[in-house]
Structure 1
Amino acid sequence: MFSIKSLFSKLFTSNGGQRIADDSHYLSLCCIVKDENDYLAEWLDYHRKIGVTHFFIYDNGSKKPIAETIDSLGLADIVTVTEIPGRNKHVKAYQHCLDHFGNSSRWIGFIDTDEFIVPKTGDADFTRQLKGYEPYGGLGLSWLIFGSNGHKTRPLGGQLESFTKRSDIDFLANKHIKSVVQPRYVQSAFKSHCFKYKPGYFCVNEHLIKIEDSFAEPSIDTVQLNHYYCRSLEEYQEKIKRGISDTKRERKLDEFYYHDGESNRVEDRTILEVLARAKTS
């Protein structure tokens, strides 16, 4: 008889299943990726600079194994890679992370490699901001969709310097949130954007307003989640080929033109300012 437990028992983890000590980390990140090897270095480097000390990456059948890329970056000691092939594995990966690695971290953020957490308190260290949310089950971060900046092909520079234009805050897609949770207060992974919490605990936004599901009015006063949804037209076409890990539907090129049409309206270099502060702190 098929069960989630039997599926998870077949997953291969890069650390050979070695247990990470309880409370080893204050903040870790978890993501599921497929053929995004070229984007990992920038994503890992940035989030290390804002206080993340471990990463749980689920490889959804990449042509070049993610573990090889991590080894080549010399980051195998801070990145745990687990292979999870097949379609629609987002929530299963998140549940595996909670079950097997949840005790290792006070907080785990569940985001994608085209999403970057941007603290806006003047302190580049996001962990200090999180301390104010310890009474709650999770913190919901509002999306800000970034556009292509007019790039048809992949630019030579990194995402953060190449894509600096975003949507207005009231763009409908920005109602999505992503979750940074305290595993000890989580009952289960529910959707790729939100979780079910144990009795007495729930997710809040930056101003401690309760968030019930995957959506909330955008709130970006003290933290925002830059979502580099579009990148360049060339990169979006590659994204279509990779498919979508949290649903069985196919991605359409029309979605690029719709999002990009709304997402080059505001110049937003906040993340570069955070990066500059992190380098000097």
Structure 2
Amino acid sequence: MSAMQQSPRRRGRALRLLLLVVALAVAAVLALVTSNPTGGGALLVPRGTSTTKQRLNLRTVRQAATSTPLAGGHGDPQADTDAVLLPDWEVLVLLHPAAAPPGDHHNATCAFPSGASSPARSVRRMPASGRRAYSCAMPAPERRHKPPFGVPTLLIDGAPPQSSRSPPAAISSSRELLQRWSGRLVYDAAALPGGDVVVFAKGVNPRQGVNRNASDIRCVYYRGRDATGDAVVASLPAATSAQQVFRCPPPTTTDEKDLRVTLAVAGGEPIPSVATYSPAPPPEQKDKKHLVCACTMVRDVAKFLREWVVYHAAVGVDRFFLYDNGSQDGLEAQVRELNSEGFHVTTHIWPWPKAQEAGFSYAAAAHRDECHWMAFVDVDEFIFDPAWAAHQPSKPEAKSTTMLPALVAAVEPDAGQVTLGCRDFGPSGQTRHPEEGVTQGYTCRRRAEERHKSLVRLDAVDASLVNSIHHFELRPGFRWERSRHARVNHYKYQAWDEFKLKFRRRVSTYVADWTDPVNHGSRDRTPGLGFEAVEPAGWANKFCDVHDTLLKDVTTRWFGAGFNGRRGLGPPTHHSSSS
């Protein structure tokens, strides 16, 4: 064979050899970059808003319960920003606590990498971390780009300028990418009194009633940005795993106030995270616990809130906790008005879609030291004892004789939960929201009793915090008790213009949205209603088996026609009786 014929073969072998040398050199450089100064493997955790494929040294994560923090601290808090792409192209931007502007009502602008921008609405602080949150819509020009999407720069209105010519303060995380709510995500964490940490994550237990063993899960605490990259501080086994809630031990005390936390599942890669961890503050000296509180998750219920609060305060609720799932109807103004009148209403944001169970888990843990009992009822649900219908109203200071305190005082010490049957009311001939309120405007209901709601003794809630919205799992030694008299009037099937708003999105994790063409025969569906917001024929007169005006008559007597909600009127007293 001639030299001319052999030359291409030799050139091919030489090229392959050259490529092999280059590959080995690149591997050596990467090994040098990802090693730490002590000789151990550096443990890298994906930044909350990054989709770059950083990897943890999982062997070290599994074996090392704690590790000595590397030198260095937090980077610039102005740049430590996270963002999550929620359904309907909504972007939730979370600032580092140190980066939050003063005050609670600064609006802003989201400036996206494409050059498009949209107004950003302040949605206050996250309840656990205290991080300021902003919500903005992703503009159409940005949506046209292929994912992954970049995190917007947040231009905050009203922030103190650096000089008279300075533009609005900019908070940006350049080159960071949006996390997507549609995937696995650790989205929040809360340090509880006593030390435990509750971590909230979606995608780990996606099926109702099927929970991964806690032994499969490790809680990974790591630094945010610093000069040496993200570094793991501790990797600890989870104590419980249920739904979207994971109870973790805290990391060993460090000098750092702010860490991030994520989960590593079954030896796999850590889940992307936007959750931060700070040790629980020292317990405050509080007044004695309230006997009965109420908690609900709300979205655009401002016009219903007064009736619900005034009524339940009259029957013995001391404090109200609202978890706001994206209201834009003046809820804050309504809450301020109620508080100015002497009611005690606290609002926390809970911006996560279809995460009601997790929100209630957080509430049960967070308010345990404030309340003995918590009523988990919606704003269209009213706890009522029909035996009170014939009584006259008393002064509001007669708390000990009101309905709810009397109800919980009568249960045995091992009763951890009192269940209340529900009566579902229909539209009752109404074609629009009744001006007199739901208790006086809807008076016709279904005959059958529906699912129960509960009054929960917070000290009795299981460590897993697992719940089905209607009730909680209890610790060993506690049991359920059913109320023989009290019930819930559920004004469920309202005038069509109100009811159709439910089609936007349901808040429960494991209940299909109204528009999802699944589970047509489920009890969570409305009989005769399809998957679109189309009014069925005869809607105004549906679900009417029994005319029931008991609560209408009581609220008219206590608060007047039209439910003016006067504070001076209170609930009825029980007449004493002897045996």
* Secondary structure at the counterpart of residue 368 of structure 2: helix
* Secondary structure at the counterpart of residue 487 of structure 2: strand
Partner of 1:37: 302
Partner of 2:357: 91
CA distance in 2, matches of 1:139, 1:280: 22
Code of the residue aligned with 1:229 in structure 2: it is K
Partner of 2:410: 132
Deviations, residues 87-145 of structure 1 (Å, cap 9, x unaligned): 11211111111111122111100010110000234375221122112420001111100
CA distance change for structure 1 residues 204 and 150 in 2, over 3 Å: closer, same or farther?
same
Tell me the CA shift for residue 279 of structure 1: 5.1
Partner of 2:269: none
Partner of 2:93: none
Partner of 2:178: none
Deviations, residues 48-69 of structure 1 (Å, cap 9, x unaligned): 1101110010000111463332
1:164 to 429, 443, 463: 443
Name which of structure 1's ranges 20-29 and 135-144 shifts more when overlaid on structure 2.
Answer: 20-29
* Secondary structure at the counterpart of residue 102 of structure 1: coil
* Secondary structure at the counterpart of residue 483 of structure 2: coil
The structure with the largest alpha-carbon Rg is: 2
Aligned 8 A contact 1:167 1:262 in 2: no
1:270 maps onto 2:550 in alignment = yes
Partner of 1:120: 386
Tell me the CA shift for residue 182 of structure 1: 0.4
1:192 maps onto 2:376 in alignment = no
Code of the residue aligned with 2:353 in structure 1: it is R
CA distance in 2, matches of 1:259, 1:204: 36
CA distance change for structure 1 residues 269 and 88 in 2, over 3 Å: closer, same or farther?
same
Code of the residue aligned with 2:507 in structure 1: it is S
CA distance change for structure 1 residues 20 and 148 in 2, over 3 Å: closer, same or farther?
farther
Structure 1 stretches of at least 4 aligned residues deviating more than 6 Å after TM superposition: 7-11, 258-261
* Secondary structure at the counterpart of residue 145 of structure 1: strand
CA distance in 2, matches of 1:131, 1:244: 35
Deviations, residues 249-278 of structure 1 (Å, cap 9, x unaligned): 222681785997662121112223443364
2:494 to 223, 231, 240: 231
* Secondary structure at the counterpart of residue 205 of structure 1: strand
Unaligned runs of 5+ in 2: 1-44, 46-185, 191-198, 201-259, 261-274, 277-282, 392-401, 516-525, 559-569, 574-579
Name which of structure 1's ranges 39-48 and 116-125 shifts more when overlaid on structure 2.
Answer: 116-125
Code of the residue aligned with 1:108 in structure 2: it is M
CA distance in 2, matches of 1:68, 1:100: 24
2:312 to 39, 42, 47: 47
CA distance in 2, matches of 1:234, 1:145: 18
Partner of 1:210: none
Unaligned runs of 5+ in 1: 12-17, 208-221
Partner of 1:212: none
Aligned 8 A contact 2:423 2:445 in 1: yes
CA distance in 1, matches of 2:286, 2:343: 14
* Secondary structure at the counterpart of residue 161 of structure 1: helix
Higher relative contact order (CA 8 A, sep 6+): 1
Aligned 8 A contact 2:495 2:540 in 1: no
Tell me the CA shift for residue 280 of structure 1: 6.0
1:62 maps onto 2:324 in alignment = no
CA distance in 2, matches of 1:58, 1:86: 11
* Secondary structure at the counterpart of residue 369 of structure 2: helix
Name which of structure 1's ranges 33-42 and 128-137 shifts more when overlaid on structure 2.
Answer: 128-137
Percent identity reads: 23
Partner of 2:257: none
1:145 maps onto 2:412 in alignment = no
CA distance in 1, matches of 2:308, 2:451: 20
Q: How many residue pairs are counted as aligned between the two chains?
A: 257
Q: For residues 237-256 of structure 1, what are the structure 2 equivalents within 5 Å?
A: 237-241=500-504, 243-247=505-509, 249-251=512-514, 254=529
CA distance change for structure 1 residues 127 and 85 in 2, over 3 Å: closer, same or farther?
same
* Secondary structure at the counterpart of residue 196 of structure 1: coil
CA distance in 2, matches of 1:89, 1:259: 30
Tell me the CA shift for residue 21 of structure 1: 2.6
